Structure 1
Amino acid sequence: MNAFFAAIEERDNPQFVGRPIIVGADPKKGVGRGVVSTGNYKAREYGIHSGMPISWAYRACPEGVFLPCDFKRYGSVSRNIFSVIRGYGYPTEQVSVDECYVEMPNCAGFENLAREMKQKIWEVERLTCSVGIGPNKLVSKVASNFKKPDGLTIVLKKDVQRFLDPMSVRVLPGVGPKTAGVLLSMGVITVKDLRQTYLYKLKEQFGKHGAHLWELANGRDDRKVFESHEVKSVGRQTTFWKDTKDPRIIYDTTLGLLRETFEELTGLGIFGKTLTVVVRYAWFETHTSQETSKGLLTFQEARRLGLKLLVPYFNNKLVRLVGVRVSGFGGGGVRSHSPEEGVSGAATSLV
């Protein structure tokens, strides 16, 4: 879906149409804690993006419309949309409240099918979505972001490299501002540059992640579409504007992400038992720690566990990214309710 939370707010509050809309924590006139959940396309013109500290967003656009998250409403809209998509009967892997992969049929009419899905979503919820069709998850995901909002991009297998090559390396999953900065220092700007870089150089710089980046640059992704009817995990992560070793900054940021996560869980009507904390150091070494409670996690319990899991990382080492994820929804966690030319086995990403 396109700027999902902000799009719902703009749809339901027509007086805000045309203005920057930022959904997230209370900015408190620039001194608030917490992060941006999403901003509409007007807000993005000011450099505002998901995961940004809300205080920075306020400084960037004090005249913007700042709204609290209403995850109950967003969850209801999400369920309606996925009901439309699953109504077609094709394997659907839901990866978040507003994104999924669909295994498309081997037929000549897959473009018309995608357009029909978009139209039905519009009729049901008056919201637009962007669709990417490609031979694997990577290509379909990049294609879905190629034309926003309300886009439809189809990439045949024979055209994958021609499609990816001229793009910035930032389109590849796992390439954020800092990774892109390191690649730039190596003379790598585009996907083609990355593809033509010697693999050993990428491994020297990034370790295993370097090999993964090289595979992505070559358009390779062997992940399958696994049919799922519920979100398997809900979480947030953010990259610090400047690497930090300050325990207070690390904890406060993680707590803000955790609060956002629980607000979304509440809106979706699901609660999990497992909390995972993700910490990535300045040199790209990533660690995850998790703990599972006997019962469904409350925010207070998750806050306690989060601090416990974070303490080992208060070690005077520079941290570039933190994240949290809640999973383990099964068993009572829900309180409510070979790809040939571009078609066979193609993955469709709807976002």
Structure 2
Amino acid sequence: MPADQPAHRKIIHIDMDAFYASVEQRDHPELRGKPVAVGGAALRGVVAAASYEARVFGVRSAMPSVTAARLCPDLIFVRHRFDVYRAVSAQIRDIFADYTPLVEPLSLDEAYLDVTDHLWPGQTATQVAREIRARIHETTRLTASAGVSYNKFLAKLASDQNKPDGLCVITPERGPDFVLALPVGKFHGIGPATAGKMQAMGIQTGADLRAQPLEFLRARFGKSGQYYWNISRGIDHRQVRPDRVRKSVGAENTYFTDLMTLAEANDALVPLADKVWRHLDARELCGRTVTLKVKFADFHQITRARTLPRPVASQAEMLAIAGELAAMVLPDARGVRLLGITLSGFDHENPVEHVQLRLFDE
């Protein structure tokens, strides 16, 4: 383990399994064991979540509903019930609070817990993770996966290893080498666009990333270069922060085929707006500023924003504003590689820190 990585930290990452879809299957026995998608089945509907039975067919969150239905003809669409999901999330967080005050929620269905200074004599973080998972199942009749490690990066990686209903522990001895064989696209903090850029440079795995000098990574990726250098060695100094404040919520997507027309861009904005609005709705947030991010095929990036004198009233209004902003800069002969929508300017009574949503299941 690296000498500059604190050895004593005990971090748990809890991630509910197919949360929205699992709640629906729990509450509707006729859906159990069947492919289920939470979301609208209409032409412009988007999948908010997919059960594991649906994922076998390639159905994923943020996928257009028509695509999901084509992949899985027997797919059952159900409307979301965010009030129910919030209530279940509150039950889960009550359980977390019994073990540590250092809980950092990432969304309704996942959180980091730092139990370093909150273990009984002889108790281990792994035992706590097992107990939390058992209590979640007993209380909610839902399953959760957990990752345990000495930092946030590795704990989150671990929670994804044995899904669903799994537990993975990455010890300080295993940590530095655990990442070597993993594709860089699996690393938390490396999105699709950055993963694609790395792959174009021949950086496919954690081992490839570790082989790059720090100066090279800083030159290619700016301030993030230090973070990438660290995580390729199992180092992550970020603390679990229960009081962090979010200032915006955004979603973006990188396209394998460049968008050449305004109409194509407008169509692509629909799932982005849906993703952002679902996250806002789940957290009961409202904001006044809509920002559009556009990255062209030559990697030149611009943003355009509009601030209302009042909170944005609906997903449709947010989408309409984003479309108007897009019309200011598109079409462009270079083609569009990436689009993003962010909503900010939240009420002071209910501030949140910036969170960037990806258009695929974690």
Q: For 1:140, what is the secondary structure of its paired residue? A: helix
Paired with 1:266 and 1:177, the residues of 2 have a C-alpha distance of 25
Equivalences for residues 309-324 of structure 1 within 5 A: 309-316=325-332, 317-324=334-341
Amino acid across the alignment from 2:240 = V
**Residues 228 and 123 of structure 1: is their aligned pair in 2 closer, same or farther, counting only changes over 3 Å?**
farther
TM-score, normalization: structure 1?
0.80
Amino acid across the alignment from 1:133 = V
Amino acid across the alignment from 2:167 = L
**Residues 188 and 230 of structure 1: is their aligned pair in 2 closer, same or farther, counting only changes over 3 Å?**
closer
CA deviation vs aligned residue, 1:264-295 (integer Å, no higher than 9, x gap): 53454333334344444445565555444333
- Name the % identity: 33
Asked if the contact 2:102/2:240 (under 8 Å) is kept, the reply is yes
Equivalences for residues 168-317 of structure 1 within 5 A: 168-175=183-190, 179-180=194-195, 183-198=198-213, 212-228=227-243, 234-282=249-297, 288-299=303-314, 300-316=316-332, 317=334
The structural deviation recorded for 1:110 is 1.5
Q: Does 1:147 align with 2:178?
A: no
TM-score, normalization: structure 2?
0.78
The structural deviation recorded for 1:330 is 4.0
Amino acid across the alignment from 2:323 = L
Asked if the contact 1:72/1:264 (under 8 Å) is kept, the reply is no
Q: For 1:149, what is the secondary structure of its paired residue? A: coil
Q: Does 1:137 align with 2:152?
A: yes
Amino acid across the alignment from 1:97 = L
Structure 2 stretches lacking a partner, 5+ long: 1-15, 352-361
Structure 1 stretches lacking a partner, 5+ long: 335-350
Paired with 1:155 and 1:15, the residues of 2 have a C-alpha distance of 38
**Residues 258 and 162 of structure 1: is their aligned pair in 2 closer, same or farther, counting only changes over 3 Å?**
same
Paired with 1:117 and 1:242, the residues of 2 have a C-alpha distance of 44
Aligned Cα root-mean-square deviation (Å): 3.1
Aligned to 1:120: 135
The structural deviation recorded for 1:318 is 2.9
Amino acid across the alignment from 1:302 = M
Amino acid across the alignment from 1:94 = P
**Residues 127 and 148 of structure 1: is their aligned pair in 2 closer, same or farther, counting only changes over 3 Å?**
same
Paired with 2:183 and 2:165, the residues of 1 have a C-alpha distance of 22
**Residues 64 and 173 of structure 1: is their aligned pair in 2 closer, same or farther, counting only changes over 3 Å?**
same
CA deviation vs aligned residue, 1:318-346 (integer Å, no higher than 9, x gap): 33333334344443459xxxxxxxxxxxx
**Residues 239 and 76 of structure 1: is their aligned pair in 2 closer, same or farther, counting only changes over 3 Å?**
farther
Paired with 1:229 and 1:188, the residues of 2 have a C-alpha distance of 33
Asked if the contact 2:193/2:254 (under 8 Å) is kept, the reply is no
Paired with 1:172 and 1:222, the residues of 2 have a C-alpha distance of 16
The structural deviation recorded for 1:136 is 2.0
Q: For 1:19, what is the secondary structure of its paired residue? A: coil
Q: Does 1:103 align with 2:97?
A: no
Asked if the contact 1:70/1:267 (under 8 Å) is kept, the reply is no
* Candidates 66, 81, 86, aligned match of 2:92: 81
Q: Does 1:46 align with 2:57?
A: yes
Q: For 1:130, what is the secondary structure of its paired residue? A: strand
Paired with 1:311 and 1:25, the residues of 2 have a C-alpha distance of 27
